[in-house]
Structure 1
Amino acid sequence: MSTNVYVGLGSNEGDREGRLVAALEALSRIDAVAVLRHSSLFESAPVGPSQPPFLNAVVALDCGLSPQRLLTILQRIEHDLGRRRDGVRWGPRPIDLDILLWGGEVVADANLQVPHLELHKRRFALEPLVELAPDLKHPVLGVTVRDLLIRLAPQDVRRLSATQWPEARFLEHDS
């Protein structure tokens, strides 16, 4: 059985857009996973210590894996694209892949919390997510991601024109 899963992508080191493209390509090669659509690119001010701005996007997947298995694969992709977990929380990184939502489910174990615990506070994740699925409900808060975005205070997030990132694919009925 497969589930619609939303994964946040971020990068603020090196060729940010190139790394997001490489991550998207890696996601498309995972067995039992299909990339359904992806958002536009957004640039955002970093959370945490002083560092360069992030480039962010969200990808919608049809996933036949368990949440823990997908997490392991995402961490491998991060490693392959240069991410090293050095213990600096919210520090700069070449790539960051986060499971934001797993269908309407809540996943809570030692290594994974879904929905992402900070999703409702982060415009850089909500803006691209709303592009893809504005009426998607947060399974804990019970409101749509559009409503979460509307309630959020302004943050330094803006849509960017892409040079390498493929043109955004939104909801099927928008085509």
Structure 2
Amino acid sequence: MVNVALSLVQVVTLWYRAPEILLGCKYYSTAVDIWSIGCIFAEMVVTLWYRAPEILLGCKYYSTAVDIWSIGCIFAEMATERPLFPGDSEIDQLFRIFRKLGTPNEEVWPGVTRLPDYKSRFPRWAPQGLSQITPKLQPSGHNLLQQLLRYDPSQRVSAKTALTHPYFLNMGEPSLRS
């Protein structure tokens, strides 16, 4: 399913919620539409649980890398059957990300300390292993998830590259389940 979502990352960044992702499958053709009626021109982008850290840290200019982050959150949610970062405020969301992925620093994300809402007094959490976070995923799934959820947006995998990831090698055509 993630390969389906990745193929449509060119959509305008909206408000994502996993239940709002509509899948339409046809023989040799798959499409994903991410719907959020009424939110197209909203000031904040992406539903909180799927919001990329650069947006949470006040970055005003962003790219499709925020969509890749959202897809990573949805991929993890599909693997665990629960939201990866279910924050109830922006700071709670940020700290939930930090608790699982570790607090970012200049080594893992050059420029992070210069973002408008970055605070040097943020708690310092060590990263958890992705195998702890998503134990049902195979190692190739952990590798893909790691590439989708990289802190540095310039280092996140592109949708095109993600579609060629080994995780998808043994997958057949999408099918509808009742």
Whether TM exceeds 0.5 here: the answer is no
Q: Specify which structure has the bigger relative contact order, considering alpha-carbon pairs within 8 angstroms and separated by 6 or more residues.
A: 1
Q: Which has the higher strand share?
A: 1
Q: Which has the higher helix share?
A: 2
Q: Who wins on radius of gyration, i.e. which is larger?
A: 2
TM-score by length of 2: 0.30
TM-score by length of 1: 0.31
